[in-house]
């Protein structure tokens, strides 16, 4: 008993010849179907070349357009010829011209000899398959498809829509339940002949002739009627990309294929000389004797599909430029934005760096330059601190920074003096953790030695900007983790919020904070705000600061630092 190979060929005939001889050498008869689209001359030469192989036959030719009935007709005719002419054949294996046997032919024969009644055909009901092209699953069986999907997509789609609109449905012949699966099957003589010799075959054929992509459903459906034992998987290793097009194997997949333990792989690039040489001529290639297990190869191809459909979050580049809202992650990693903290605390950045181990920058969007950590003028990825370069595209600056430093938590300062264009982008970014102490921009003004008239103007400007920023941060579309305190609120009890923020950064969570940040001396700040009010400006974002020396701010002598306890 042996296995018969039905081979559907439409291109790279030289390779098909090589593989056909390989099968024949291994004692497997071969029936080849050559697509009618191949010229008469080429076909005759091909047939002539294989004359010396008595166990290689050629079946009646059909035109095989993708997704058309021709492929099924070709498989039927070739299978009939196989069953009729080679009586020793117990299993028929459907393969294509670009399939390559990976394991020795004897192993396949032996494997099938141990499973004489098993049909290997991937066959699932339409409700259960996620991989349909064009989103059509059950409708493949209930609509008409007179227009080519490849050549006339517009009419194809329109006609589908029209049929849906009028509620048209074809009747599915009695007794069958539509199943779909890979077109590369291996059926027993019993099952296959039952399908081919079924008295109802003309009506089934007439029905499937108008089903879309019948080569993925004809045998898959009918095998369910006759098979005593279906193993719903294909013995052919075949990986599909996101468009339902098979992945191609090249020379550099040699090791991967060796480890795949599969009997047959498709599809192979015709110029992959090393693959053909290794698997067809090297007798000692020693593929291990195990159940076929394409799982090892799955990961690499699943990743390719993922890369093509979802991409790498936070990456903007020449072939990935997502539309607004389709970024699948605006940035490459989580980051923390601090507004008002470095104004309110002395040496806040140094403290934050020590407390979290993250990279802490100054005001990255400051008007003068991007204040990179450690005073660097260039950062990872050769990102420049030049403000003009940065402001030419602030979003690109931010996404570049986070892409370049992925793996290392980034923190930076922000405020109403800085480029406001980036505020909304951070607000809509789920990776952003934004903490704002509103009104803290007034502290540097309070400490400065500028003329009061200038201070008043600056304060009015900054308050207006920050107010707008806060509006953005409170919009319903915000996806960032946003926390906002007024300055008065925050200094009421600064330890608790600081601890929460540090914990959320979560870098050194196991260690207790060894030191607390030191508040700026705010003696007289209330009076400063009152002076602004007296000049007609209304500072409100910082909350209420009493003019009368509040107990907290008027303690004589140096204050004790706030200690943050777990």
For residue 161, give both structure tokens: 């829509």
Backbone angles phi, psi at 519, to 5 degrees: -70, 145
DSSP state of 374: G
8 A C-beta contact, residue 241 and residue 247: yes
500 interacts with another protein by CB under 8 A: no
547 interacts with another protein by CB under 8 A: no
According to CB under 8 A, which one of 187, 373, 383, 440 is a site residue for another protein?
383
Least CB distance from residue 239 to another protein, whole Å? 8
Strands (E) located in 72-202? 89-96, 100-101, 119-120, 124-125, 179-180, 186-188
110 interacts with another protein by CB under 8 A: no
For residue 566, give both structure tokens: 């777990």
Residues 289-318 that bind another protein (CB under 8 A): 300-301, 303-305, 307-312, 315-318
8 A C-beta contact, residue 36 and residue 71: no
Residue 565 neighbours by CB distance under 10 Å: 8
CA–CA gap between residue 359 and residue 333 (Å, rounded): 13
- Per DSSP, the three-state class of 338 is strand
Binding residues for another protein, total number by CB under 8 A: 52
88-105 residues labelled b (16+ CB within 10 A) or e (exposed): ebbbbbbbbbbbbbbbbb
According to CB under 8 A, which one of 132, 148, 278, 404 is a site residue for another protein?
404
DSSP state of 243: T
CA–CA gap between residue 137 and residue 216 (Å, rounded): 11
| Contact characters 204-243, another protein, x per CB under 8 A | -------------------------------------xxx
CA–CA gap between residue 254 and residue 276 (Å, rounded): 10
Closer of 246 and 524 to another protein (Cβ) = 246
8 A C-beta contact, residue 54 and residue 29: no
39 interacts with another protein by CB under 8 A: no
319 interacts with another protein by CB under 8 A: yes
248 interacts with another protein by CB under 8 A: yes
- The closest of 131, 109, 243, 107 to 180, measured between CA atoms, is 131
Given the rule CB under 8 A, which of 33-41, 339-347, 390-398, 413-421 is the region that contacts another protein? 390-398
Closer of 303 and 447 to another protein (Cβ) = 303
Closer of 61 and 266 to another protein (Cβ) = 266
| Contact characters 338-377, another protein, x per CB under 8 A | --------------------------------------x-
144 interacts with another protein by CB under 8 A: no
User: Residue numbers of the site for another protein (CB under 8 A)?
Assistant: 241-243, 245, 247-248, 250-252, 269, 271, 300-301, 303-305, 307-312, 315-323, 326-328, 376, 378-384, 386, 388-389, 392-393, 396-397, 400, 403-404
């Amino acid at each position: 008993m042996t296995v018969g190979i039905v081979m559907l060929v439409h291109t790279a005939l030289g390779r098909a010849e090589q593989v056909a001889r390989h099968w024949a050498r291994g004692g497997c008869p071969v029936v080849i179907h050559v697509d009618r689209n191949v010229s008469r001359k080429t076909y005759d030469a091909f047939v002539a070349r294989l004359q010396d192989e008595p166990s290689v036959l050629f079946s009646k030719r059909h035109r095989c357009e993708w997704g058309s009935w021709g492929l099924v007709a070709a498989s039927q005719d070739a299978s009939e010829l196989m069953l009729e002419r080679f009586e020793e054949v117990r299993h028929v294996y459907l393969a294509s011209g670009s399939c390559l046997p990976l394991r020795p032919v004897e192993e396949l024969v032996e494997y099938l000899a141990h499973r004489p009644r098993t049909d290997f055909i991937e066959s699932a009901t339409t409700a259960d398959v996620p991989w349909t092209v064009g989103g059509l699953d059950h409708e493949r069986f209930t609509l008409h498809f007179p227009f080519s999907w490849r050549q006339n997509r517009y009419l194809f789609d329109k006609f589908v829509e029209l049929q849906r609109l009028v509620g048209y449905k074809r009747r599915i012949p009695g007794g069958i339940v539509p199943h779909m699966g890979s077109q590369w099957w291996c059926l027993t003589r019993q099952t296959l002949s039952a399908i081919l010799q079924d008295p109802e075959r003309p009506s089934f054929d007439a029905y499937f002739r108008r089903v879309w992509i019948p080569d993925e459903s004809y045998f898959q459906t009918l095998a369910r009627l006759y098979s005593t034992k279906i193993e719903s998987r294909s013995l052919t290793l075949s990986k599909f990309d996101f468009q339902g097009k098979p992945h191609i194997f090249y020379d550099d997949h040699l090791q991967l294929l060796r480890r795949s333990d599969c009997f047959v792989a498709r599809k192979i690039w015709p110029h992959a000389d090393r693959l053909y040489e290794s698997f067809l001529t090297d007798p000692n290639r020693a593929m291990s004797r195990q159940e076929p297990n394409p799982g090892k190869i799955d990961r690499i191809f699943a990743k390719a599909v993922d890369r093509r459909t979802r991409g790498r979050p936070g990456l903007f580049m020449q072939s990935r430029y997502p539309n607004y809202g389709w970024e699948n992650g605006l940035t490459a990693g989580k980051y923390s934005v601090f507004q008002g903290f470095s104004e309110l605390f002395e040496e806040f950045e140094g403290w934050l760096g020590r407390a979290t181990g993250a990279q802490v920058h100054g005001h990255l969007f400051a008007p003068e330059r991007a204040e990179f950590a450690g005073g660097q003028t260039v950062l990872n990825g050769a990102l420049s601190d030049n403000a003009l370069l940065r402001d030419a595209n602030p979003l690109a600056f931010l996404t570049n920074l986070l892409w370049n430093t992925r793996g290392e938590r980034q923190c930076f300062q922000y405020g109403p003096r800085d480029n406001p264009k980036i505020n909304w982008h951070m607000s809509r970014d789920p990776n952003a953790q934004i903490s704002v102490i509103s009104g803290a921009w007034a502290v540097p003004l309070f400490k400065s030695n500028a003329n009061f008239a200038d201070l008043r103007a600056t304060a009015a400007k900054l308050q207006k900007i920050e107010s707008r920023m806060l509006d953005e941060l409170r919009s319903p579309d915000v996806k960032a983790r946003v926390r906002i305190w007024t300055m008065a609120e925050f200094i009421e009890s600064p330890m608790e919020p600081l601890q929460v923020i540090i914990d959320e950064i979560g870098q050194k969570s196991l260690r207790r904070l060894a030191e607390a940040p030191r508040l700026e001396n705010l003696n007289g700040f209330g009076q400063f705000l009152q002076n602004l009010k007296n000049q007609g400006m209304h500072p409100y974002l910082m909350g209420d600061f009493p003019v009368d020396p509040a107990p907290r701010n008027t303690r004589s002598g140096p204050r004790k630092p706030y200690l943050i306890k777990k």
